[in-house]
Amino acid sequence: MSGLLQRMGMILAFMGVTLGSAGQHYPNWLQYLFNHQSVNPAYTAIGENLGFFVMNRSQLTGLSPADYSHQLSFHSPIFNQFNGAGFDMIADRADSLAQLSLFTNYSYELLIDEDIRLRMGGTFGLAHTTKILKEAEEKELTGNFGIGAFIYSPNGFFSFSIPRLIKNNAANLTPEERILQENRLFFFSTAALFPISEGVMLKPQLFYAIPFGKSSQMDLSFNLMLKEKTWVGLLYTPGQRIGAMAEGHLYRQIRMALATHIGRDGPTGKTVAFLDLSLSYGIDIYGRGKKPVNRF
């Protein structure tokens, strides 16, 4: 059954190449490559690990004022290995909108068979949105909630989520929405692992974001895992951006990821380059050391 999950993920990933996409400001590559939690609450505390994820996106060239994104995620098992809790704090700026959000997450895991597990989760929180105008600033505090499911095995996964179910007024502040935390979105992601040689595995991954009533976006990545310790890969959003990433151990349980990409901003047509940097830490407090977590 684990092999079936792997094959289905590969088929869907290649099907995604044929899908069209038009862009807005979506989650960063490093978020759903190494920390699905901010995109899908079901991922919270997967693998029974206690830890955190910190990410910073810096704009190198292009728009002024510069866009940015900062994120802090924390996760921990609670009660037993099947329950997880955590939070995500995200600060974003894109165009004239700046947003600070804080969301709490809960997840629960079910065993489908020996290899396949299903996690389900929910999230709830608040977002403070500021529209920066020449003459003044407009501010708004809104609440929201979302749901998600994450099914995985040692060789692949499927992720489904709607992290924001309420469409608040903040989603309509600009003609083309750039910060979508307050818009209703459906996220789908899948990946599969294929051995190439001893110590080397290929992981193609598809990420697809479908806003309610707005243009969708597809991201593709092709990653190599070396000796179960290091990731290197290429990142591609059809018609918009291309980039590269690397991730590996920095010290003991601390891992660092770096991604850089260049693309074209839709509304302005300017070429924009970004640098993403993340640090993550995880400790297996139950001593089970499940390797699939490090892969996804």
Is residue 115 situated within a structural domain?
yes
pTM over 0.75: yes
Which pLDDT does position 108 carry in this prediction?
96
Which pLDDT does position 3 carry in this prediction?
55
Q: List pLDDT tens digits, range 110-168.
A: 988 888 899 999 999 998 888 776 666 778 888 999 999 999 988 899 999 999 888 77
Which percentage of the chain shows pLDDT scores above 70?
A: 77
Of residues 37 and 66, the one with the higher pLDDT is 37
Six-digit token string for 295:
């892969």
Range with the largest mean pLDDT of 22-36, 87-101, 103-117 = 103-117
Which pLDDT does position 266 carry in this prediction?
59
Which pLDDT does position 92 carry in this prediction?
85
Is residue 233 situated within a structural domain?
no
Is residue 68 situated within a structural domain?
yes
Is residue 65 situated within a structural domain?
yes
Range with the largest mean pLDDT of 24-38, 78-92, 178-192, 205-219 = 78-92
Q: For residues 255 and 294, what is the distance between their CA atoms, to the nearest angstrom?
A: 10
Is residue 257 situated within a structural domain?
no
Which pLDDT does position 18 carry in this prediction?
39
Which pLDDT does position 15 carry in this prediction?
42
* Mean pLDDT calculated for residue range 171-177: 48
Is residue 254 situated within a structural domain?
no
Is residue 113 situated within a structural domain?
yes
Residues of the domain holding 89: 2-226+264-295
**Any idea which of 37-46, 211-220, 244-253, 265-274 has the lowest mean pLDDT?**
265-274
Q: Please report, for residues 9, 11, 149, 153, 203, the alpha-carbon distance to residue 192 in angstroms, rounded to integers and kept in the order given.
A: 6, 10, 17, 9, 6
SS3 of residue 170 by DSSP: helix
Which pLDDT does position 139 carry in this prediction?
83
SS3 of residue 103 by DSSP: strand
Which pLDDT does position 66 carry in this prediction?
65
89: nearest Cα among 64, 104, 62, 71? 71
Which pLDDT does position 97 carry in this prediction?
78
Residue 107 belongs to domain with CATH number: 2.40.160
Is residue 231 situated within a structural domain?
no
Q: List pLDDT tens digits, range 39-95.
A: 999 999 987 889 999 999 888 776 666 678 899 999 999 988 889 999 999 998 876
pLDDT reading at 8 higher than 90: no
Burial class for 269, CB neighbours closer than 10 Å (0-12, 13-18, 19+): exposed
Q: For residues 126 and 96, what is the distance between their CA atoms, to the nearest angstrom?
A: 20
* Mean pLDDT calculated for residue range 200-223: 87
* Distance spanning both ends of the chain, measured CA to CA: 18
Which pLDDT does position 134 carry in this prediction?
65
pLDDT reading at 25 higher than 60: no
For 218-244, b/e burial (b = at least 16 CB within 10 A) is bbbbebebeeeeebebebbbbebbebe
Which pLDDT does position 28 carry in this prediction?
78
Instruction: Return mean pLDDT, the chain.
Output: 81
Cβ–Cβ under 8 Å, residues 65 and 130:
no
Cβ–Cβ under 8 Å, residues 162 and 186:
yes
Which pLDDT does position 274 carry in this prediction?
87
pLDDT reading at 286 higher than 50: yes
Which pLDDT does position 175 carry in this prediction?
43
Which pLDDT does position 80 carry in this prediction?
82
Q: What total of structural domains would you count in the chain?
A: 1
Chain position carrying tokens 């068979």: 113
- Which ranges of the chain would DSSP assign to H, the alpha helix? 2-15, 29-34, 292-295
